[in-house]
Amino acid sequence: MEKVSKRIAALADSQTLAMNQKSKDLEAQGIDIINLSVGEPDFFTPEHVKEAAKKAIDANYTFYSPVPGYPDLRKAISVKLKEENNLNYSPAQIVVSNGAKHSLANAIMTIIDPGDEVIVLAPYWVSYVELVKLAEGKTVIINTSIENDFKATPAQIEAAITPRTRALLICSPSNPTGSVYTRDELEGIARVIEKHPNIIVLSDEIYEHINFVGKHESIAQFDFIFERVIVINGVSKGYSMTGWRIGYLAAPCWIANACNKLQGQFTSGPSSIAQKASVAAITGDKSFTREMNKAFRRRRDLVIDMMKEIPGMKINIPQGAFYVFPDMSYFFGKTFQGKKIENADDLSLFLLSEAHVASVSGDAFGAPECIRFSYATSDDKLREAFKRIKRSLELLQ
């Protein structure tokens, strides 16, 4: 009998990865698709990082590493957190995993019991809700609006808290909206959390290095909640290392130890070679990251200028990450060749088939009026993509 567990049957596919695959399948058929679906930097991993990986192979770093990662990598992360973020985490408080997604999964599995509530701010990244579901937790969604730059207020968070609330998930810079919380905004949220000692904050900071407004601000900086914050980060975005699969969390010892136990049963330590490459990334020259940040900023400006020329697209100005997340509801109810565009799913598919541009429907992010476009691709492709999008949207009646 072909029967998967209820747990997996109830799980949704990752829409970001599904759309990326769909786009690649069409490309393989010879169709000229511009893929703005998945979010990953389009730059090659820096040379010094690749060299470190080659050296690691030659030096026979080919055995299991300690479950939470090699001591030198955990030390490098501890120093990075002190120097870049002014956060005091010892290496013992750091667990290295197979990407930030895995770190998030470890953290959620570690702190959530069945029925526990997790506050998630919509629009949210696709995997949060599904990971909470796997842990049999209950997500409590707070909706935000484009007018407020998709940011939640302390009052909204306060109102969502119940005696069952166990965690708050926050992502800044945000995927999918590109919003970046200021220090004051984070402090306002931290003051609410301070009053509720059972709540743990999961702070997803994977886009730390793709920030156009200056210094990265972590909610872990507030001493009065520090003991209840888990920082999630990794090398995927800041060093263009998505395929290397290295992420990490920094947390109070009791949480780090529990994640270590879980990881020891589930996956063991992450790739030995990728860990050595990550040491080079984290301790090495940062000019690559600075240049990449500049390129994303330029592309953000380029894309926003082109979007302003498309009547009906409502936009916020993203201040980090590499996504734009326009409200496209103006186009819902319009028709193309007799077929009605009912929602963002229909519109995203229409753009794929008519403009040959892949995007991700906002539905996957808890914002059914929006569509996400990643601008992590060349300026030329972006120009062509938005020309095609504009032309296709003009066909809608």
Among 45, 93, 175, 179, binds ligand PMP (CB under 6 A): 175
Q: Give the gyration radius of the chain's Cα atoms.
A: 21
Among 23, 34, 36, 39, binds ligand GLU (CB under 6 A): 39
Beta strands 323-324 and 339-340, pairing class? unpaired
What residues contact residue 37 under an 8 Å CB cut-off, 6+ apart?
A: 16, 19, 20, 22, 23, 358, 359, 360, 374
Task: Identify what 17 binds: ligand GLU, ligand PMP, none; CB under 5 to 8 Å per kind.
Answer: ligand GLU
> Rounded distance, CA 297 to CA 213, Å?
10
Which residue lies nearer to ligand GLU by CB, 14 or 182? 14
Q: Which amino acid is at 358?
A: A
Binding pattern to ligand PMP, positions 22-61, x when CB under 6 A? Answer: -----------------x----------------------
Please tell me whether residue 126 adopts helix, strand or coil conformation.
helix
> Rounded distance, CA 251 to CA 258, Å?
10
Task: Identify what 247 binds: ligand GLU, ligand PMP, none; CB under 5 to 8 Å per kind.
Answer: ligand PMP
Residues 233 and 251 sit within 8 Å (Cβ to Cβ): no
Single out the segment in contact with ligand PMP by CB under 6 A; choices: 29-37, 44-52, 96-104, 248-256. 96-104
DSSP state of 57: H
Single out the segment in contact with ligand GLU by CB under 6 A; choices: 26-34, 36-44, 187-195, 210-218. 36-44
101 binds ligand PMP (CB under 6 A): yes
Sign of CA dihedral 259, 87, 168, 97: negative
Look-up of token digits 């691709």: 377
102 binds ligand GLU (CB under 6 A): no
Task: Identify what 14 binds: ligand PMP, ligand GLU, none; CB under 5 to 8 Å per kind.
Answer: ligand GLU
Beta strands 117-122 and 371-374, pairing class? unpaired
16 binds ligand GLU (CB under 6 A): yes
Binding site for ligand PMP (CB under 6 A): 39, 99-101, 125, 171, 175, 204, 206, 234, 236, 242, 247
Binding site for ligand GLU (CB under 6 A): 14, 16-17, 38-40, 101, 126-127, 175
